A and B are shown apart, each in its own frame.
Chain A
Amino acid sequence: MFLGQPLLSILELIKKKEVSSKEVFDYFLKRIEKYNPKLNAYLTVNRSYKSDRSDKIEMPVAVKDNFCTKGIRTTASSKVLENFIPPYESTVTRRLIDAGAFILGKTNMDAWAHGSSTETSDFGPTKNPWDLARCPGGSSGGSAAAVSSYLVPAAIGSETAGSIRQPAAWSGVIGLKPTYGRVSRYGLIAMGSSLDCPGPLTLTTEDAAFILKIIAGKDKFDATTVSNKVPDYVSLLKKKRKFIIGITDEYLNGVDEEIKNAFYQLVKILEKLGHRIKKIKLLSPKYSISVYTIIQRAEVSSNLAKFDGIRYGNDRTFFGSEAKRRIMLGTYVLSYGYYDAYYKKAQKVRTLIIEDFKKVFQKVDMILAPTTPIPALKLGEFEKYPFFGEMMDVLNEPAAIAGICAINFPFGLTKKDNLPIGLQLMGRWFEEENILNLTYQIEKETDFLGVIRKGVKNYPD
């Protein structure tokens, strides 16, 4: 009936009274019942939809299970919070609900968002809709899989370093990581507080712009949000703008050949569209991994200290192995005698990474790069890689460390395994409208090589 319709089209149909919100809700509920047992994208489905008003305009949105939703179980995919019912609403979900969203369900993730595969979930892994033997990526893997298989037209994820872009790349959808401070973290179960950014995963650039406009902006409950004006991202998409786009070898080292080919194919298309491509130099992403590992583990060990099972949730024996590993390392780098060697050193290198981006952004408007070095891994395969798969986020971590905005969009499928390829644009602080604008141009010119439509077609009504 609406198979593959993006959120804004569904909203249009509801407004024109061609369908009711209740029909839309029932449609997705039926799809979830059909496909979720196989995919495990949702941990909780919200069946409380009330059809008391047929003229009510409500749009279905799925939300990652680390956003507190008042009255709806919120677990962060950890047994520690197995039965936790938040007594308050996160700012992101509050703003969505106020804008007419109905929270269709809560999506699976790596426990506490610790991971890039959704395998560390205490409630079983989510499967990649393109190949059920593979990971959808993570940590927002449930949100990415739900959008890709059309169990919802749009979802919210959160990114600390890659957790929106990487699952979006592996599952073949759009994933936007806004600038740090653009979207409120209030009510988001904290992972790395100096890095966490909520953002949308969608089927179209327009939907990503539409959702960002709803959730962005100053929030008095999150002091790190900024008061910069929130532009009308959707109408700004339509402006035909020309950009200077940076590309760098540092982001192509060790990248899969098919992904590299897709990258160069897009470079040619961008030139044809009248954009200027400029070779730039950036610090090797390998330093970002170290900075990220130290800062994020440190923040994790402090953020997870409050889970004692006294006021809510279960006690600390319920932490899974990955959470424990991160808490241990965080405790180590913050402990007496090591603080200067690790945490302070990492914050200094973080300054270097920020300066590096600032310098480059004087010459170019944005940077184009692959999102991941390889396409989706098989379930269980992460263990085989050194450093527990941290390398899968190597191309995402610099932008996260610097706090800039970035967006993943699909660009073709691998010939070898028919898996989505993801490319990303990284933009200046608070210039989401620019990376969205170019993504929109790419969408109009190439339809992302049909990836999103094909993905949905694999899951007929």
Chain B
Amino acid sequence: MKKKSLTRDEIIHLAKLAGLSLTDSQIEKYKTQLEETISYIENLNELETKNVDPTSHTTLLTNVYFNDGEKNERALDLPAIFQNAKNKEKNYFKVSSIFDE
């Protein structure tokens, strides 16, 4: 098995993309584990796939539509929408600000 390697910076970058905060020891741990995994999955290159189409769906469904103007029965009312929110004001979710003044 060919060993693939990742840098610490790559791990930190991935965590940032995924919105995860990692400790130093976690960075090291995930680096080793991700390296192990991406080395294993290299075995796919043993298979020739040049003329193979990628699968889009296993049961070959195509084009599933809703009818125009159909009532959305999944819609929740406002109390249901907010019932699990920790931080809200009137009918809004409260989040920390993204931009400075």
Give the B-binding residues of A (Cβ under 8 A).
Answer: 83-85, 87-88, 179-181, 194, 220-221, 223-224, 226, 286-287, 289-291, 293-294, 301, 305, 308-313, 316-317, 319, 321, 324-325, 327-329, 331-332, 335, 342, 344-352, 354, 386-388, 401-403, 429-430
Q: Are A85 and B30 in contact (CB under 8 A)?
A: no
Given A328-B14, A403-B58, is A290 in contact with B41 using a C-beta cutoff of 8 Å? yes
Chain B positions within 8 Å of A287 at CB level: 43-44, 46-47
* Interface size in chain B (residues, C-beta < 8 A): 49
What DSSP secondary structure best describes chain A's contact surface?
helix
CB distance from A342 to the nearest CB of B (A): 7
Given A312-B85, A348-B52, A402-B58, is A293 in contact with B80 using a C-beta cutoff of 8 Å? no
Q: Are B84 and A85 in contact (CB under 8 A)?
A: yes
Q: Among the listed B45, B73, B93, which residue makes an inter-chain contact with A310, where contact means beta carbons less than 8 Å apart? A: B93
Chain B positions within 8 Å of A401 at CB level: 58
Can you list 30 residue pairs at the A/B interface with Cβ under 8 Å?
A85-B84, A87-B81, A180-B59, A181-B59, A194-B57, A224-B59, A293-B37, A293-B40, A294-B41, A294-B44, A310-B95, A311-B93, A312-B85, A313-B84, A316-B20, A316-B21, A325-B33, A329-B37, A329-B38, A331-B14, A347-B56, A348-B53, A348-B55, A349-B52, A350-B55, A351-B49, A354-B55, A354-B58, A401-B58, A403-B58
CB distance from A88 to the nearest CB of B (A): 7
Give 5 new A-B contacts, CB below 8 A, not counting A325-B33, A328-B20, A348-B52: A194-B58, A305-B19, A310-B93, A332-B38, A403-B59
B64: nearest chain-A partner, CB-CB: A223
Chain B positions within 8 Å of A350 at CB level: 54-55, 58
Given A311-B93, A328-B20, A351-B53, is A388 in contact with B44 using a C-beta cutoff of 8 Å? no
Provide the bound-state CA to CA distance between A266 and B53, in Å.
38
Chain A positions within 8 Å of B37 at CB level: 293, 329, 387
Provide the bound-state CA to CA distance between A386 and B36, in Å.
9
Provide the bound-state CA to CA distance between A170 and B49, in Å.
36
Given A310-B93, A349-B47, is A87 in contact with B85 using a C-beta cutoff of 8 Å? no
CB distance from B26 to the nearest CB of A (A): 7
Q: Are A347 and B55 in contact (CB under 8 A)?
A: yes
Q: Are A289 and B84 in contact (CB under 8 A)?
A: no
Provide the bound-state CA to CA distance between A322 and B56, in Å.
27
Provide the bound-state CA to CA distance between A348 and B54, in Å.
4
Query: Which residues of chain B from 5 to 47 have a CB within 8 Å of any chain A CB?
Result: 10-11, 14-15, 17-22, 26, 30, 33-34, 36-38, 40-47
B74: nearest chain-A partner, CB-CB: A221
Q: Are A387 and B40 in contact (CB under 8 A)?
A: yes
Give the A-binding residues of B (Cβ under 8 A).
Answer: 10-11, 14-15, 17-22, 26, 30, 33-34, 36-38, 40-47, 49, 52-59, 61, 64, 66, 73-74, 76, 80-81, 83-87, 93, 95
Q: Among the listed B40, B81, B83, B84, which residue makes an inter-chain contact with A290, where contact means beta carbons less than 8 Å apart? A: B40
Q: Are B36 and A181 in contact (CB under 8 A)?
A: no
Q: Are B11 and A348 in contact (CB under 8 A)?
A: no
Provide the bound-state CA to CA distance between A176 and B47, in Å.
31
Given A223-B64, A290-B43, A327-B20, is A88 in contact with B55 using a C-beta cutoff of 8 Å? no
A346: nearest chain-B partner, CB-CB: B44
CB distance from A250 to the nearest CB of B (A): 14
Chain A positions within 8 Å of B80 at CB level: 87-88
Q: Are B18 and A88 in contact (CB under 8 A)?
A: no
Q: Are B53 and A328 in contact (CB under 8 A)?
A: no
Q: Are A335 and B17 in contact (CB under 8 A)?
A: yes
Chain B positions within 8 Å of A313 at CB level: 84
Chain A positions within 8 Å of B76 at CB level: 87-88
Q: Are A331 and B17 in contact (CB under 8 A)?
A: yes
Q: Are A351 and B85 in contact (CB under 8 A)?
A: no
Given A221-B74, A224-B61, A294-B41, is A328 in contact with B18 using a C-beta cutoff of 8 Å? yes
